């Protein structure tokens, strides 16, 4: 979809076409191919194809973009690369608070703005936004999306690493480097666009303050000194790491934030003494992936008065139940045989037909084990169960556990 087509979709005729397609698409009796053929009788074929794509992506984008999805213009790569709205809003809100606390002017440049999801969130947070992207079609989309939501901001075409863009002329620079190319996802930061060397210089520069969205698997060793790394999960899914430069004035190097609750913890919360290890107690805690990736399992363990099952694994146990936003809580029902043949007998005896398998520190693959158990007739009952396979003091163990509802037991 080129910039000219995006512009046509934002005009009155294009908007009517989008509305018409959306209205018909809600009917299960309408075949999209038939609808497209009918529309091409009265409209340009390329415009119809673009409008059909936008309506389809709006429907699929609701989970990621929420209520905004139904009003945005996007293409498939733009939607795939866009930040979740919940995460963008969290970051924008935190950025607005930090900028205000630092006494800086709220002028932010989004370097590589894509379809504009982060621009939208920052504009709604009261920041003065400018978006830059080298793709004219993405610039057209971002501009159209700000306008569709009635938000102020400017968007222009430019190479963020070139001489025509000076990040230092803004107070804050936000960058979401592209981690995909025509061959797929690129895991080497040196192959990102902009590359890691450029991003690192941006983060440590005196001006502007910089925030960089990056992959959650970024090594701790890669984070520059004086920069805070924030790992963010949303609904239990680890979705990104954000690197905060001087604007955060970080007293802590690592931070974990859990959405939608907004609970967070940092390495400043680490207990003075290691929580140590202990055998499996009555309760098992599985820290959120953001907590694990940030290296803050000890924080979660200290908050529930627990201990690690193994010094190298992110499972915590205790004898008393404590609900914590940092971890999922399970009641330990019983230890069961770790050997597969004996385990099959236990599952049959308990009538378990639906089994969730959680594993940590053992070589077995959950799906392969489930297939073997099913093939052996071990999962035929009408009961459900959760099996945890892990190490305790270096020994492979298996436990049947039951997830605890979020409103039980009381939170500490």
pLDDT in tens, 203-239: 988 778 899 999 999 999 999 988 999 999 999 999 9
Domain that holds residue 106: 81-266
408 has pLDDT over 80: no
Last residue within a domain, chosen from 219, 234, 266: 266
Alpha helices by DSSP H, listed for 149-207, are 196-204
- 13-25 pLDDT, tens digit per residue, is 899 899 888 887 7
3-state SS, residue 82: coil
- The torsion angles phi and psi of 20, rounded to 5 degrees, stand at -65, -45
Residue pLDDT, tens place only, 258-280: 999 999 999 999 999 999 999 99
* 179 lies in the same domain as 301: no
**Among residues 266, 294, 324, which one ends one of the domains?**
266
Report the alpha-carbon angle 269-221-121, nearest 5: 65
**Contact in structure between 209 and 167 (CB atoms under 8 Å):** no
Give a yes or no: residue 408 inside a domain: no
Report how far residue 245's alpha carbon sits from residue 172's, in angstroms, rounded to the nearest whole number. 10
Answer yes or no: is 271 within a domain.
no
How many CB atoms neighbour CB 148 within 10 A? Answer: 17
| Residue that is written with structure tokens 């709205």 in the block | 85
**205 in a domain, yes or no?**
yes
User: Are 93 and 213 found together in one domain?
Assistant: yes
For the stretch 391-407, pLDDT in tens is: 998 889 999 999 997 65
* 109 and 197 share one domain: yes
Contact residues for 56 (Cβ-Cβ < 8 A; gap 6+): 25, 32
Residue 363 belongs to some domain of the structure: yes
CATH number at 240 reads 3.40.50.150
One domain, residues 157 and 247 = yes
Q: Which of residues 211, 239, 266 is at a domain's end?
A: 266
| Three-class secondary structure of residue 35 per DSSP | helix
Residue 388 structure tokens: 């945890």
Q: Decide: helix, strand or coil at residue 236.
A: coil
What's the distance, CA 217 to chain centroid?
12
Bond before 409 cis per omega within 30 degrees: yes
* Stretch 339-355: mean pLDDT: 94
How far is residue 284's CA from residue 333's CA, in Å, rounded to a whole number? 10
Do 33 and 108 fall within a single domain? no
Q: Is residue 67 part of a domain?
A: no
Q: What is the pLDDT at residue 411?
A: 45
In a domain, 274, yes or no: no
Of 248, 1, 306, which Cα lies nearest the Cα of 104? Answer: 248
Co-location of 185 and 332 in the same domain: no
Query: 156-170, 188-202, 343-357 — which is least confidently predicted?
Result: 188-202
| Structural domains counted in the chain | 3
Which tokens sit at 201? Answer: 């210089």
> Looking at the DSSP assignment, which residues form a beta bridge with residue 168?
none
411 inside domain:
no
My answer on whether omega of the bond before 194 falls inside 30° of 0, hence cis, is: yes
Q: Is the pLDDT of residue 101 over 70?
A: yes
Asked, as a colleague might, if the bond just before 280 is cis with ω within 30 of 0, I would say no
Q: Are 9 and 145 in contact (CB under 8 A)?
A: no
Does 120 share its domain with 168? yes
| Confidence (pLDDT) at 412 | 46
Backbone angles phi, psi at 400, to 5 degrees: -90, 130
Residues making up the chain, counted from first to last: 412
Residue with tokens 């500490």: 412
The beta-carbon contacts of 217-223 under 8 Å, at least 24 apart in sequence, are 217/187, 217/293, 218/189, 218/243, 220/254, 220/295, 222/189, 222/196, 223/253
Do 166 and 246 sit in the same domain of this protein? yes
Both 214 and 307 in one domain: the answer is: no
Q: So what's the pLDDT on residue 87?
A: 97
Proportion of the chain above pLDDT 70, given as a percent: 94
Helix (H) or strand (E) run with residue 96 in it = helix 85-102
> Residue 258 and residue 236: Cα distance in Å, rounded?
8
Q: What is the DSSP letter of 241?
A: E
Answer whether residue 73 is part of any domain. Answer: no
CB neighbours (10 Å) of residue 102? 15
**Which is it for strands 254-259 and 237-244: parallel, antiparallel or unpaired?**
unpaired
The verdict on 220 and 346 lying in the same domain is no
Q: What's the rounded Cα separation, in Å, for the pair 224 and 381?
A: 53
With tokens 């191919």, the residue in question is: 33
Q: Please provide the distance, in angstroms rounded to a whole number, between the alpha carbons at the two ends of the chain.
A: 52
Neighbours of 135 (CB within 10 A): 18
Separation of alpha carbons 6 and 224, rounded Å: 39
Asked if 111 and 255 sit in the same domain, the reply is: yes
Residues 143, 9 share a domain: no
């Amino acid at each position: 979809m080129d910039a000219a087509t995006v512009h046509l979709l934002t005009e009155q005729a294009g908007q009517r076409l989008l509305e018409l397609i959306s209205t018909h698409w809600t009917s299960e009796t309408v075949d999209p191919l038939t609808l497209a053929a009918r529309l091409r009788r009265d409209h340009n074929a390329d415009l119809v194809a673009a409008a059909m794509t936008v309506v389809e992506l709006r429907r699929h984008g609701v989970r990621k973009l929420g209520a905004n999805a139904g009003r945005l213009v996007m293409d498939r790569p733009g939607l795939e690369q866009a930040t979740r709205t919940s995460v963008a809003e969290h970051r924008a809100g935190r950025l607005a608070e930090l900028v205000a606390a630092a006494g800086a002017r709220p002028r932010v440049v989004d370097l590589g703005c894509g379809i504009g999801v982060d621009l939208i969130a920052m504009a709604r947070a009261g920041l003065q936004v400018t978006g830059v992207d080298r793709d004219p079609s993405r610039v057209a989309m971002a501009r159209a999306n700000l306008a569709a939501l009635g938000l102020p901001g400017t968007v222009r075409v430019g190479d963020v690493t070139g001489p025509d863009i000076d990040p230092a002329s803004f107070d804050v620079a936000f960058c979401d480097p592209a981690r995909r190319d025509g061959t797929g996802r690129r895991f080497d930061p040196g192959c990102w666009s902009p590359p890691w060397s450029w991003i690192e210089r941006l983060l440590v520069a005196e001006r502007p303050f910089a925030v960089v969205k990056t992959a959650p698997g970024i090594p701790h060793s890669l984070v520059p000194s004086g920069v805070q790394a924030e790992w963010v999960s949303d609904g239990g899914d680890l979705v990104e790491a954000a690197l905060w430069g001087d604007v955060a004035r970080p007293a802590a190097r690592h931070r974990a934030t859990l959405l939608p609750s907004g609970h967070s913890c940092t390495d400043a919360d680490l207990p003075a003494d290691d929580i140590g290890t202990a055998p499996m107690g009555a309760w098992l805690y599985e820290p959120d992936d953001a907590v694990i990736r940030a290296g803050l399992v000890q924080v979660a363990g200290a908050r529930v008065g627990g201990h690690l099952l193994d010094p190298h694994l992110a499972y915590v146990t205790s004898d008393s139940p404590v609900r914590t936003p940092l971890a999922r809580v399970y009641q330990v029902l019983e230890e069961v045989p770790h050997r597969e043949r004996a385990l099959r007998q236990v599952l049959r005896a308990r009538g378990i037909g639906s089994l969730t398998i959680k594993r940590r520190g053992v070589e077995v693959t959950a799906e392969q084990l489930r297939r073997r158990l099913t093939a052996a007739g071990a999962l035929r009952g009408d009961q459900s169960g959760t099996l945890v396979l892990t190490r305790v003091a270096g020994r492979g163990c298996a436990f049947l556990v039951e997830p605890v509802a979020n409103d039980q037991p009381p939170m500490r």
